[in-house]
Structures are given as C-alpha cells and as structure tokens.
Copies of this chain bind each other. A is one copy, B any other.
C-alpha cells in the first residue's frame, strides 16, 4: 500500500510509492526513451495493460483508450486511515492513477492529429474528471501529460496521465488561497483581473480563440511557458460545455504546433488546474468554502528547455533567460498549418 506522508516544515505531502520500484526505468540514467521491444500501448498489445476503463469508440478498433496505470502511484481500494506519527502525519496512499492512450499510433504529436480526434481526447479528459469526482475520497484530480524523455515520459507512445489524490496539492492550495484572498478583498476573480490587464496590454498574448486566451505569464518560470485561460469565469473543467471543450482542444493544438515550430520540437508538460472536489464537503458546514467559485480553471503548458538544479530545489525561485514578452512575440508570429 503506498503511503502519503506530510512534511511539517515544508507543509507538503509526498507519496511513498514502493510499487513503482518495479518499473524498469527508475534508476536508469539513460535519457533516451527506453526502446521497449513491445509497446504496451500499441493496438494488439491490449493484454499488456490492465483492462480498459473506457475506449472510444466503444466497439471496433479503438482510437482512444483509458486504462489503470500498471504501476500506480496510489492504490484505488481502501480508506485513507489518517494518523499522527509523533511530529509527522501520514495516511494511506489512496487514489486513482489512470493512463489515457491518446492514439493507436506509436508516434504522433498532438499538433498533427485530426482536430476531431483532439476534441474527443479533451472530452475524454472531462469525462474521467467528472467520473473520478464522484468518489468522495478524492479531493483533487490532476490531468497531465509528459512529452519527451526530458519531459519525464518513460513510454514514447502518446499518453496523458490522470492522478486523483486524497488531499489538495500544495500548488493548487496556494492558487486557491490567492484567488480567495483577492476575491474577499475586491469581489473580483484574480484570474479575470489578470486577463483584463493582459488583453489591454497585449504584449504577452500568444493566441485568442472564441473561449480562450493563451498568455506567456508575467512571472514565467520557464522559457516559452504558456497559460491557457478561459475568457469567461469558470471554476471547474468537469462542468465545461462541449463547445468550450472543443474550443480548448483547438487552442491547445494551435499552441503546441506553434511551440513545436518556434522552439524545435521541445519536450514539454501540460497540466490542468481545476477546482478541487467539493463532493466530500457536500455534507459539511464549510460546503460553500470548498466550492472554489472564486477560482478560475486553466491549463499550463511548460516546455522543458532549462534544467532545474540546486538553486531551484532550495528556493522555489526560477531563473528564466527568456522574457515572456519575447516568447509571446515569437509564438504569436509563428505561422502554422493547423
């Protein structure tokens, strides 16, 4: 059983996940993707993964397939069993860890997929998010993608991961608190305010669609980092309409295509920051406090062009050699065929 442990000084949880030691690659210093003789995500090798949670289409050859992670960071069965251990806190590592196999093709960049396929992919993300939020044990659902070896991918076949955790992660909590503080003071959303200022200046705007704005954030940690923000205030991706989800798929595809062309196909991570699960609180007094209506969901796309090292680990202070205004200008002017 994996274990969640709390650091009382950094106020951060970690997952001690011994199951994952079985993965071949943990202590592998090789940075090229392992050339597995047989890819577990390719059609024909479905037996190499646990049984599918969802396939699209439901019958016939699949084009998208969601499976439990074979080496999950968290265990799906059981209770959290929260305990104090002296100065420390622990709980069982309860959660979900799923893999969305994005395409039957072993190598395919999202920028090259049919738009209709990318739309379906983002609808699948929403559907998994919605489904996992029904489980009151899960406080947060993180959807993220690692692209390229430097991006942390250990299998080349395009896939996204979904991890549901029994606590709200620190990064999300910090964002929630900032948004709440701003809202209490001003009765306005901090993301909406930022969006307003950014659209007025325009210097960090990369792209706009019907429902989204893509920005290089003012305090970007990484070169060519972008944030994808809904233009209209909404706190929960699980509640986004089909139209909004389709537009998001298009916007992310455009952004990834620009990034690939402008910065020579970089490794990257993308991730969703959406509202925590209010489900567990529905029957509690602080229900309204947990709903995060004052939050604004968004996606982050983080190219991995710089290496984080001792300074960043010790400070959470990032050194970015590329001003976001320059990055936005280059990405904005990069023409693509999508």
Contacts and interface: CB of A to CB of B under 8 A. Distances in A.
B20 A316 contact: no
A73 interface: yes
A302 interface: yes
Contacts of A165: 315, 317
A161 B310 contact: yes
A35 interface: no
A122 B188 CA distance: 51
A132 to B, nearest CB: 15
A113 to B, nearest CB: 19
Given A269-B310, A311-B163, A319 B20 contact: yes
A317 B313 CA distance: 13
Interface stretch (A4-12, A205-213, A231-239): A4-12
Nearest to A191: B9
Interface in A183-237: 190-191, 193-194, 197, 201, 217-221, 223
A171 B17 CA distance: 24
Nearest to A150: B29
Interface residues of A, number: 90
A295 to B, nearest CB: 10
Contacts of A15: 317-320
Contacts of A5: 218-219
A68 interface: no
Given A8-B190, A9-B178, A87-B193, A152 B310 contact: yes
Interface string A107-121: 000000000000000
Interface string A1-43: 0010111111111111111110100110101000000000000
Interface string A94-118: 0000000000000000000000000
Interface string A241-258: 000000000000000000
Contact of A142 (B150, B151, B314): B314
A270 interface: yes
A174 interface: yes
A74 to B, nearest CB: 9
A152 B307 contact: yes
Given A20-B321, A273-B314, A320-B15, A151 B309 contact: yes
A308 interface: yes
A311 to B, nearest CB: 5
Interface string A293-329: 0000000101001111111011111111111100000
A18 B27 CA distance: 35
Contacts of A161: 310-311
Given A14-B318, A170-B317, A88 B310 contact: no
From A15, A73, A267, A315, residue with most partner B Cβ within 10 Å? A315
Contacts of A145: 310
A138 interface: no
Contacts of A273: 314
Q: Which 7 A-B pairs have the closest CB atoms?
A: A152-B309, A144-B310, A169-B315, A269-B310, A271-B314, A7-B219, A5-B219
Given A27-B223, A161-B311, A269-B309, 5 more contacts: A9-B174, A10-B175, A10-B178, A152-B308, A169-B315
